[in-house]
Amino acid sequence: MADGPTASKVTLCLDVGERQIGLARTVADMGTAFPAGSIDMGDPAGTARTVVNRIVLEGAGCLVVGLPLGLDGTDSIQTRKVRRFVGFVRKDLAARGLNRTVRVELVDERLSSVAVERAAASEGLSGFAGRATKDQWEAVYILQGYLDRPSPVHPKRD
């Protein structure tokens, strides 16, 4: 993780799946997440380069990645795959000299799929148009949760 605040107000979020990565993003100075497409998951190192290209294109200062922990909070096989993928992203950021300007944060995404499915059902939608669309909305859910979390309180120094 890079140290210190970033100059960019754009945050990207990834929902890393077996075959697709759903993307969400913020708009500068707005605390709202929006769907931003999807990326096919291929070779992890090559896909990580694609993600870093997107970070550069969007001018993002923060990358939030959903971490699919088990219900008991432990790592699963998919959790380890996501951690490995994030390692490739961090390596590519470092190779491009971006590891100090782009913060990478892993956030708990337990039950994001369930929440998105319930929200769709409550709107009368029986399903999504495809896996890529569902992955995007899961990324939106993860990013919005990240944006809405309380800010850490720092004690004032005199």
List the chain residues with pLDDT less than 70: 1-8, 28-29, 110-132, 151-158
pLDDT at residue number 6: 45
Residue 67 CB neighbour total at 10 angstroms: 19
How buried is residue 40: exposed, middle or buried, by Cβ count under 10 Å (0-12/13-18/19+)? exposed
Distance CA 78, CA 62 (A): 22
Domain parsing of the chain, residue ranges: 11-148
Q: With CA atoms as reference, report the closest residue to 67 among 53, 54, 81, 56.
A: 81
| CATH superfamily of this structure's domain 11-148 | YqgF/RNase H-like domain (3.30.420.140)
CA distances from residue 39 to 3, 47, 48, 65, 157 in whole angstroms, order as listed = 28, 8, 10, 14, 45
pLDDT at residue number 85: 98
pLDDT digits (tens, 9 = 90+) for 71-88: 888 899 999 999 999 999
Specify the 3-state DSSP secondary structure of 114: helix
pLDDT at residue number 150: 78
pLDDT at residue number 30: 74
